[in-house]
Structure 1
């Protein structure tokens, strides 16, 4: 029976849904000169939703609970992921505005689709039922497809959107096939708790394990893990840079939430079996991402392959299959979301109408042109490479430690080796900025948006600040898993 308490737990989601629909209607009546109102309303909506989520999860607030018969879960893990999703999405809005204005793409559709994608992520990280998982995943995916194709006059963007859509549909089919087998093997239940009980019971687990394999393939696709990474480089390169910034950061948090709900919340008793699969996905992702990234000259494509390698590191934590491993993986997902947003924002900073700073060569001589911007990019690349004392170093250390404590020393050694290899292609960007002579029209736009410059400065320096004081964030993640 549905009660008012169920709707109270969904208050942040309902607020975001109502506000997004209101923004959609308002945008119909706004002229292009007043389009900035949509920008501020979208950011205000995220702030209001974040406050409501924080009030639910703060001290003395609502305890962990479920709604609608267990279909929706509100706990510390979901609160942490949602709050970081709001922060990253809000930053994406600020980063995107000057780029969109310069190219005549400053439309309400960008904000509405992004907010609907955020709603899908919120549902996904709070899913307690296979139907809720699929509902959140498809809302996120369909919004992402449309965002990639937003620049209709760009052939590369349209091609990227088609590839994303076709491969995404294939992955959704695999996920649904796996869910159908899990449904049958668990006695006809869609509830993750009931599936967990069926997995823990005695009996033949062949069908259930077969379903978990297909579900894991769907999870790997959403992350962009090898060998399910085919869509990622083309989409990252072809999509408008602000869209790449968004889909390369916030959805990784939602993908982690999805993986945690399905692997631990539903298939936890089968951990010894799916642990090995996750470990080998990590190895394939580390090898594929790092080795192919070495050969890239396009920065967006290089960051796409680096994303695959970072997913491999995140999988080191998931492969541990215990509370410490999940906390380390969440810490890595949060760290990577902040680093990825800053990396793509640095491309936006140097771009202008008619010139997209997408190649590593475009960063040549940046230190001579603007030492401050070069320093910000240095902080970002050093953190992505895992150089101490930046945040990326502690994130890598956390997942490597989780792998060692879970008894997978071989996996930790593989991670260390590829961490060293991966540092090379980030150092190429630093070398281009500080030691190479500029070629042609490079450097930041003369009238770069002040909000963009200030936020990127905060974002990049935060990677250093959190690297020096990372413990509170890790404690926050550990608390989400009862450590």
Structure 2
């Protein structure tokens, strides 16, 4: 028996190879560089260079791409403009995330624990802090997460998609558990996220097995063709499709698969929450777009009820629960659940317009999310001994922030208004594009629910704005909260705020780029 060596075109995968290869090198840096301060500097500089290089490579591939795209590894991967557009978005989030990971307080305190393996409050943890140890493994872990998400955007095989899902999920499970403050809450959040993620992964792969049993295929396009020729709707096939969608909707954070979201957002280190909230949603949406448009489109009628129901539940439940929150991070977590519903609104009718609208919406939402959590990371409690403590996340602690730090409060107000979809912000353009795509597909009832949910959601966004600018600090607690001026966190706030404004005022260029990507995806798959 002769073994034929497979030929793999590695060049189209260059951005992914750069990021994942650098992540592996980052692990070696952890092993050979002994001094924590030196290791942190090397990891930050190396990670930034790698992500910027991968971004440049992605843009170069976009410019050089001919036709509808390139298939790799026997059609298991497809590198087209749609994939490159999503990879660009994720790399932007990765660059902002790694900068926020490196941010410190004025006292030099990072967001991450000194020793991840130590029990909270233990002697080992105390000694590790005194010795100045740092968990610099967070930088290669972020690279693994970014690389897995980039792979997630271009996979065109259900089994391979599971591999990419686990690559970035495992890194996130670890990152959530590494908070420096409130460590028990961080551990609880990581455990919940891990257990629910394991269940969702099992549900997804079981769905893949059922799809294979019904079609004898695992690649997206052959599965779509097989569905076309199956007489009647096979219950085995429909069950498998529903289970696959459940696995992806978990990563999107949509109801009723959202239960991990508030706990993970609240317990994780704030930089991890920022990166996870933006990038995970983008990766999940990219996978949903490719699966629905290239594989499951013959079942549009059969699965539309699920998309409509989950979208409505996410918008309504996310908005209602966000209204009653008194914790800023949990409020933003439930806001993200509502935004998962807005994302699903675009899938009504599976129109071509949705393929261009969704990357723009996720870019706008992701910039505002990273910026908002960057602000949260700088509003701190003051401890009894006068030192800076954990983030001040109770709503009452934000009273008078506009007087303490007008620029920081102004940036937070901008991000909140973008979440609400107020004109002249990126969020308004994103919602307009998504709602227009849904109306074109006959989903006007969904749009009606979305508009009402947006109007109600504006209340809890504006409530925080009123607290910051129109509410005085209660007497006796003027010194209970302190605003940290971390240069790196401030840089992230400035960049994301500028992005929100530019995308809101001058969105045409970015929209045209995403429209170009949408045309190639739709044309290449009929």
Q: Same fold (TM over 0.5)?
A: yes
What are the ranges of 5 or more consecutive residues in structure 1 without an aligned counterpart? none
Q: Which residue is equivalent to 2:11?
A: 8
Using the alignment, how far apart are the partners of 1:33 and 1:82 within structure 2? 31
Instruction: Give the one of 111, 132, 139 matched to 1:111.
Output: 139
1:459 equivalent to 2:464? Answer: no
1:307 equivalent to 2:336? Answer: yes
1:372 equivalent to 2:411? Answer: no
For residue 108 of structure 1, report the CA deviation from its aligned partner.
2.2
Using the alignment, how far apart are the partners of 2:495 and 2:147 within structure 1? 26
For residue 215 of structure 1, report the CA deviation from its aligned partner.
1.0
1:248 equivalent to 2:253? Answer: no
8 Å CA contact 2:103, 2:487 repeated in 1: no
Q: Which residue is equivalent to 1:175?
A: 204
8 Å CA contact 1:24, 1:108 repeated in 2: no
Change over 3 Å in CA distance of 1:313–1:19 after alignment to 2: same
Using the alignment, how far apart are the partners of 2:453 and 2:104 within structure 1? 34
8 Å CA contact 2:58, 2:88 repeated in 1: yes
Instruction: Give the one of 276, 279, 283 matched to 2:308.
Output: 279
Q: Which residue is equivalent to 2:99?
A: 94
Number of aligned pairs?
480
8 Å CA contact 2:141, 2:171 repeated in 1: yes
How big is each residue's C-alpha offset from its partner over 1:132-156, in whole Å with a ceiling of 9 and x where there is no partner?
1101101111111111112488110
Shifted more, 267-276 versus 243-252: the winner is 267-276
Q: Which residue is equivalent to 1:27?
A: 30
For residue 23 of structure 1, report the CA deviation from its aligned partner.
1.6
Spell out the pairing of 1:291-330 with structure 2 (5 A cutoff): 291-330=320-359
Change over 3 Å in CA distance of 1:223–1:2 after alignment to 2: farther
For residue 107 of structure 1, report the CA deviation from its aligned partner.
2.5
8 Å CA contact 1:386, 1:392 repeated in 2: yes
1:71 equivalent to 2:76? Answer: yes
SS at match of 1:351: strand
Q: Which residue is equivalent to 1:137?
A: 165
8 Å CA contact 1:17, 1:116 repeated in 2: yes
How big is each residue's C-alpha offset from its partner over 1:283-325, in whole Å with a ceiling of 9 and x where there is no partner?
0000010000000010000000000000100101122312112
1:205 equivalent to 2:233? Answer: yes
Q: Which residue is equivalent to 1:335?
A: 364
8 Å CA contact 1:316, 1:329 repeated in 2: no
Using the alignment, how far apart are the partners of 2:442 and 2:66 within structure 1? 38
Larger Rg: 2
For residue 18 of structure 1, report the CA deviation from its aligned partner.
1.8
SS at match of 2:348: helix
Using the alignment, how far apart are the partners of 1:355 and 1:252 within structure 2? 27
Change over 3 Å in CA distance of 1:49–1:61 after alignment to 2: farther
Q: Which residue is equivalent to 1:193?
A: 221
For residue 178 of structure 1, report the CA deviation from its aligned partner.
0.9
For residue 84 of structure 1, report the CA deviation from its aligned partner.
1.2
SS at match of 1:142: helix
Shifted more, 114-123 versus 144-153: the winner is 144-153
Q: TM-score, normalised by structure 2?
A: 0.88
For residue 460 of structure 1, report the CA deviation from its aligned partner.
1.1
Using the alignment, how far apart are the partners of 1:226 and 1:115 within structure 2? 29
Instruction: Give the one of 153, 161, 184 matched to 1:125.
Output: 153
For residue 61 of structure 1, report the CA deviation from its aligned partner.
6.0
SS at match of 1:318: coil
SS at match of 1:355: strand
8 Å CA contact 2:14, 2:57 repeated in 1: yes
What are the ranges of 5 or more consecutive residues in structure 2 without an aligned counterpart? 115-133, 382-387, 521-526
8 Å CA contact 1:177, 1:211 repeated in 2: yes
Change over 3 Å in CA distance of 1:355–1:210 after alignment to 2: closer
For residue 388 of structure 1, report the CA deviation from its aligned partner.
0.8
8 Å CA contact 2:426, 2:501 repeated in 1: yes
Instruction: Give the one of 56, 59, 68 matched to 1:54.
Output: 59
8 Å CA contact 1:95, 1:348 repeated in 2: no
Q: Which residue is equivalent to 1:258?
A: 287
Shifted more, 134-143 versus 94-103: the winner is 94-103
When the two chains are superposed, the root-mean-square deviation of aligned CA atoms in Å is 1.8
Instruction: Give the one of 259, 264, 287 matched to 1:235.
Output: 264
Using the alignment, how far apart are the partners of 2:503 and 2:358 within structure 1? 17
8 Å CA contact 2:22, 2:143 repeated in 1: no
8 Å CA contact 1:379, 1:461 repeated in 2: no
Using the alignment, how far apart are the partners of 1:97 and 1:368 within structure 2? 27
Change over 3 Å in CA distance of 1:68–1:175 after alignment to 2: same
For residue 423 of structure 1, report the CA deviation from its aligned partner.
0.5
8 Å CA contact 1:394, 1:470 repeated in 2: yes
Instruction: Give the one of 455, 463, 487 matched to 1:428.
Output: 463
